[in-house]
Amino acid sequence: MGRRKRNSKKFSGVNQKICESKILEKLNSDEEEETKKKEEDFSTLENAIDVYQRLKLPLVHSMQHQSDDSDEEEDTVVLNFWPRFVFVSNLCLICMERSEEICESCGMVSYCTVKHKKQGWLKHRELCEVLTEVCTNGGGLSFLPNLTADDYRVYRLKLIEIVECRLKRLLEPWEKEILLYPRVCCSCRYFSKALKYCPTCEIELFCKDHDDKHKEWCQDFQVFRRVLFMQHRNGHVDPEIPDTFQNSPLHLPNNFDLLMAQLYNRSTYYCSMDCYTYCSLSHISTIPLTTLYSMQISCQDWKNIDTFVVHVIGAEFQFECINLHVWEKFFLHFLPNLKHLKLIFIGPELRLPAVPLNLLTAVKICSACKSFGRCVNVSFHPGKFYHNFCRSKQFIKPHLVCLFNPGLYRETGFEGRDTWPETIREFCKTQVPVCVTSYTKHEIPREMIRIKSIIDVETILEPEKNPFASIKPDRNFVSDDAVPLIYKNYYLAIIRGKS
């Protein structure tokens, strides 16, 4: 899973330009600087390129810049796993292009051409027989329009169980998606082999009684489709983030597009960044930027702090614990007074890959930061509940506690035991700000209710749309009657335990 990378270097062309312009800016008189800044901010806002404008751009390849300190030896690890196949009912099972050919037997999967249909038959045959028997001929999909939203979810999970039982094996994640997001009218859930698709996103399906317009979500489905297609073809991308050293602490604007326009200083790389790379950029930035944003809202002394300790509770390795180099770019480079950033990841579901620990915790630091002895210190506490961590010798008092998309309101618990109350009590006891995010607007009030049902807290930030949420869409199952697509860290709230 892991690949060792020696001496991996980042480019420095963009940041040099930014440093120069910053110095020039400093030379101006205060008054001039003030007006210039306003003009600059205004123009960047106007010139910021959002994800929708990037839909048509071709994939941008990472630039391999040579940096001047190439004699330095450094061991870091690059985790290069290929993203898994994602099933979308109206995209070809082989190549993810728009489908024109539907499997005649089950009617639940589709292909771009007859050629791919033939090619896909071997991969699909075994499952097709069962799907046809259970869903299509067996009438398993004919009840869908009459079910309530909750029953519809339960029903789809039940169908998976039945299919797995007949197949005598577990379904792969993409096979489950055939049943989780079936080929039905997105308005009334009517199943038919003759559905028409939205001519713009080419993903959402409609029956003859329903209009093929779905204005509100179409653009986001276009992004979703573009991301899946490019991910299928190219695997993960590694967006280049410039090293923009700030002379004074940078107060984040509350807009991701604006921050990026400022950071990249409208470089060619920035202007030509495609939709997929831009989504990936936001996806790897959302954890550090949401943390920094929360720090600036809730820690009074954020500009002068020299050591900052963050606890990330309920961490998941593949989301929160990779791309750790991004923390350096956004914390050390934005906050010139910060010397040590300590990140502590804790979670019962945190599982580390079989790679030497010193490589997993190694965060690549630029030579400028290194020369000042600045560092990002990482520790993992896999398979551990937060309350147990707090009572252990490894406990270090945090300045900020983070729970990213935790689902505190779910009482199903971990291995059948609801352990959140103990954890909630423990993180409130620290009496430091606690940042909580959720996938949707509807979830965050439930998170707050859960916390308040356990212990008395003060609200530092009422739930609001997080400006640094991921813009990479995922399909929604848990609350698909409310919104069809979800985003990591979409809503944000900050609380603090009362003494």
Ramachandran assignment for 321, one of left (phi > 0), alpha (psi -120 to 50 degrees), beta (any other): alpha
SS3 content of the chain, % helix, strand, coil (to 5): 40, 15, 45
H/E run at residue 161? helix 149-167
**DSSP H helical ranges for 210-272:** 215-234, 256-264, 268-271
Q: How far is the CB of 386 from Zn ion (least distance, A)?
A: 30
Choose between 155 and 319: whose C-beta lies nearer to Zn ion: 155
433: Cβ contacts below 8 Å, ≥ 6 apart: 294, 297, 298, 299, 400, 401, 460, 494, 495, 496
Q: How far is the CB of 137 from Zn ion (least distance, A)?
A: 12
Biggest CA–CA distance in the chain, Å, is: 78
Contact 375, 22 (CB under 8 A): no
Choose between 191 and 420: whose C-beta lies nearer to Zn ion: 191
Q: For the range 380-383, what are the long-range contacts, defined as Cβ-Cβ under 8 Å and sequence gap of 24 or more?
A: 380/315, 380/321, 380/345, 380/350, 380/352, 381/344, 381/345, 381/346, 381/347, 381/350, 382/317, 382/347, 382/350, 382/351, 382/352, 383/348, 383/350, 383/351
Contact 132, 106 (CB under 8 A): yes
* Contacts to Zn ion by CB under 5 A: 92, 94-95, 97, 103, 105-106, 112, 116, 128, 185, 187-188, 190, 198, 200-201, 207, 210, 218, 332, 366, 369
Choose between 113 and 419: whose C-beta lies nearer to Zn ion: 113
Q: How far is the CB of 103 from Zn ion (least distance, A)?
A: 3
Q: How far is the CB of 128 from Zn ion (least distance, A)?
A: 3
Contact 478, 431 (CB under 8 A): no
Q: How far is the CB of 328 from Zn ion (least distance, A)?
A: 5
Report how many helices (DSSP H) and strands (DSSP E) the chain contains, helices first: 16, 15
The pair of three-digit structure tokens given for residue 165, joined into one six-digit string: 């039982």
Q: How far is the CB of 174 from Zn ion (least distance, A)?
A: 14
Q: How far is the CB of 72 from Zn ion (least distance, A)?
A: 13
Q: How far is the CB of 473 from Zn ion (least distance, A)?
A: 13
- For residue 317, the tally of other CB atoms under 10 A from its CB is 18
Choose between 200 and 479: whose C-beta lies nearer to Zn ion: 200
Choose between 230 and 401: whose C-beta lies nearer to Zn ion: 230
DSSP code, position 62: P
Q: How far is the CB of 491 from Zn ion (least distance, A)?
A: 25
Q: How far is the CB of 433 from Zn ion (least distance, A)?
A: 25
170: Cβ contacts below 8 Å, ≥ 6 apart: 164
Choose between 103 and 279: whose C-beta lies nearer to Zn ion: 103
Choose between 198 and 401: whose C-beta lies nearer to Zn ion: 198
What's the chain's Rg over C-alpha atoms?
A: 24
Q: How far is the CB of 290 from Zn ion (least distance, A)?
A: 20
Amino acid at the residue 170: L
Choose between 215 and 393: whose C-beta lies nearer to Zn ion: 215
Q: How far is the CB of 389 from Zn ion (least distance, A)?
A: 29
Choose between 105 and 476: whose C-beta lies nearer to Zn ion: 105
Choose between 328 and 426: whose C-beta lies nearer to Zn ion: 328
- For residue 371, the tally of other CB atoms under 10 A from its CB is 9
The separation between CA 472 and the C-alpha centre of its own chain, rounded to angstroms, equals 6
Residue 419's alpha-carbon distances to 207, 351, 433, 447, in angstroms, are 45, 18, 21, 15
- Phi and psi at 382, nearest 5°, equal -70, 150
- Kindly give the pairing relationship between strand 457-465 and strand 491-497: antiparallel
- For residue 356, the tally of other CB atoms under 10 A from its CB is 12
Contact 378, 324 (CB under 8 A): yes
Q: How far is the CB of 233 from Zn ion (least distance, A)?
A: 12
Choose between 81 and 372: whose C-beta lies nearer to Zn ion: 372
Choose between 131 and 402: whose C-beta lies nearer to Zn ion: 131
Choose between 200 and 419: whose C-beta lies nearer to Zn ion: 200
460: Cβ contacts below 8 Å, ≥ 6 apart: 297, 298, 433, 494, 495, 496
